[in-house]
Structure 1
Amino acid sequence: MQARHIDHVNLRIPADGVDDAREFYGEKLDFGIEDTLYAADEKPFFDVRLSATAVIHCRPTEEFEPPTATSYDHVAVVVEESLDEIESELYSAGVEIEKRLDSPLGATGEAPAVYVEDPFGYQIELKARV
């Protein structure tokens, strides 16, 4: 079997966290939000579009429990911008940078990255292209 890429990541969010997710991922990080089928009650989650081939499913649930240090670490997303541009965009959007690493290793090699936390406690790594 030959893997090509990760298709999606499924994150559970609080049932009342839909607006917070749309604001954080859609407005602050400027990723596309695809929620037509969710709004029509045709599927139990909506998508954060990262690229043509990758999404984050946000699944609202009453049983949500915030991630812990032993249950989750982070999702890494490679973005087109340089680290300086990433930091500038996050600052302008009012998103606090948790940490910055100059050369974390990823699937495509080492590249600078910053880490932010979404409204539900999930850490997101925003990594410049190698």
Structure 2
Amino acid sequence: MQARHIDHVNLRIPADGVDDAQEFYGEKLGFGIEDAPYVAGDKPFFDVRLSPTAVIHCWPSEEFEPPTATNYDHVAVVVEGSADEIEAELDAAGIEIEKSLDAPLGATGESPAVYVRDPFGYRVELKTAV
């Protein structure tokens, strides 16, 4: 079996966290929000569109437990722009930067990355394209 790419990642969020998730991922980070089937009651989750071939499923849950260092570290998303441009966009959106690294290793090689936390405690690595 030969893998092609990751299709999606599932993240549980608090049942009352839908607006916060959509604001963070959609408005502040600028990713697409696909929620029509969720709003219609046809799916128990909505999607954050990262690219034509990748999404994050956000599953609102009454049993949500914040991620801890023992069960989650981060999800990495390759984005356009330099680290300076990414940091400027995050600053303009009011998102606190947890840390920046010059060249963490990823699937596509080493390149600068900026780390942030979403409203629920998930760390998101925003990695520059190689």
**TM-score normalised to structure 2 length:** 0.99
Give 3-state SS (helix, strand or coil) of 2:43's partner.
coil
Q: What is the aligned partner in structure 2 of residue 54 from structure 1?
A: 54
Q: What is the aligned partner in structure 2 of residue 114 from structure 1?
A: 114
Structure 2 stretches lacking a partner, 5+ long: none
Give 3-state SS (helix, strand or coil) of 1:72's partner.
coil
Cα displacement (A) at 1:33: 0.2
Which deviations, in whole Å up to 9, do the C-alpha atoms of 1:56-93 show, x marking residues without a partner?
00000000000000000000000011111100100000
Q: What is the aligned partner in structure 1 of residue 88 from structure 2?
A: 88
> Number of residues paired by the alignment?
130
Aligned counterparts, 1:8-47, within 5 A:
8-47=8-47
CA distance in 2, matches of 1:81, 1:94: 18
Structure 1 stretches lacking a partner, 5+ long: none
Q: Give, as a single letter, the amino acid of the residue that structure 2 aligns with 1:90.
A: L
CA distance in 1, matches of 2:36, 2:27: 17
CA distance in 2, matches of 1:58, 1:82: 27
**TM-score normalised to structure 1 length:** 0.99
CA distance in 1, matches of 2:39, 2:5: 28
Give 3-state SS (helix, strand or coil) of 2:88's partner.
helix
